[in-house]
Structure 1
Amino acid sequence: MPRMPACACCAVPGRRLILRAGAGLLCAAIGAGTSLAQATGGEPRRLRIHRLATEEAFEGVYWRDGRYDREALRQLDWVLRDPSRGEATPMDPRLFDVLYAVAEEMEAGEGYQVISGYRAPETNAARARESRRVSRASLHMSGMAADVRLVGRDSLGMARLAAEMQMGGVGLYRRDGFVHLDCGPARRWS
């Protein structure tokens, strides 16, 4: 899997990369959907999330009977909003599938701590000015990324497992003890 430099942590890939990877991503997306369905046997998908910045939480089923639960997605959108602006966006439900699959593989029932979910463009620009590790084209602005910890689990182990699963981008932030997960193209960095 290609390694990305730290400053491109959540960057949206360039046009050439998207075109080159198009067919592969389509196959991967179909395969990932099939794998997730096979892994769950069509069982409901559940998440447990605690947003550190707001002390809000979501615990429940977001997918059942072959479809996403709209009310659960609305609740997740709000919990993962940009707290500095009080602004929510519709999060990409595939992000929740990534979070679900990683937690299931790690047999983690304790749930996620969310450091960052959606970021308004203004919030992301401010963070990018503060740190070169924040991409100006972050998938956080599209509702496709979250920076998380799994309670009681090693972040290095989680990053390695998520990278092996190839369901999206994986960034390890060892110093801060969290992992960036997204539902964009499979790539990794640390």
Structure 2
Amino acid sequence: FAAAVGGVAAASLAAAPAVAQALGGGARALGVRRVQTGENFQGVYWRDGRYESQALRQLDWVLRDPGMEEATPMDPRLFDVLAAVQARMGSDENWLVISGYRAPETNAARARQSRRVSRVSLHMSGMAADVQLPGRASLQLARVAAEMQLGGVGLYRRDGFIHLDCGPTRRW
């Protein structure tokens, strides 16, 4: 387990310069809308070299498991991934979030329904989101995100969304 955690940490540190390059040194803003609840967040989540705790709490709530009404502290690096991909795409549209945090019970139920759901999903750690960006094809988004090598990228073309996470760089 320690080796796996160390690998995740090393991969995350390697992604930090790429995020900084994509987003620059100024404030980082993000807009998201949760598909199931219609709730939104739009605003600055990083300013003056640090994450804004109030914004992170709001994002945690919007990305909660809506079936369980359970939130978890999301890894703020996920928001960096979303912001960097959005910037590279040249979009100012809000991300549509299909799935953010998943309680272990929710993830287990989904894994029983579909082999495409990992039983050790990073959604349970607050490190992943399944998203759409209006006006952008899922294949185009997945290609750009994979090229940026900021974390995991999954293409679910039939369902019209991509999976983005701040874990090790990989794709499927």
TM over 0.5, yes or no? yes
Task: Give the whole-Å Cα distance in 1 for the aligned partners of 2:86 and 2:120.
Answer: 27
Compute the TM-score of the two structures, normalised by the length of structure 1: 0.85
Task: Give the whole-Å Cα distance in 2 for the aligned partners of 1:144 and 1:128.
Answer: 18
Instruction: Determine if the alignment matches structure 1 residue 97 to structure 2 residue 69.
Output: no
State the SS of the aligned residue for 1:175: helix
Instruction: Determine if the alignment matches structure 1 residue 182 to structure 2 residue 165.
Output: yes
1:53-64 equivalences under 5 Å are 53-64=36-47
Structure 1 unaligned regions, length at least 5: 1-13
| Larger RCO of the pair (alpha carbons < 8 Å, separation 6+) | 1
1:150-169 equivalences under 5 Å are 150-169=133-152
The alpha-carbon distance between structure 1 residues 124 and 31, as it changes in their structure 2 partners (threshold 3 A), is closer
1:6-85 equivalences under 5 Å are 18=4, 22=7, 26=10, 28-85=11-68
Match of 1:149 in 2: 132
Task: Give the whole-Å Cα distance in 2 for the aligned partners of 1:184 and 1:101.
Answer: 15
Match of 1:140 in 2: 123
The letter of the residue matching 1:111 is N
Alignment size in residue pairs: 172
User: Shift of residue 36 of structure 1?
Assistant: 2.3
User: Shift of residue 48 of structure 1?
Assistant: 0.6
State the SS of the aligned residue for 2:17: helix
Structure 2 unaligned regions, length at least 5: none
Instruction: Determine if the alignment matches structure 1 residue 110 to structure 2 residue 93.
Output: yes
The letter of the residue matching 1:157 is Q
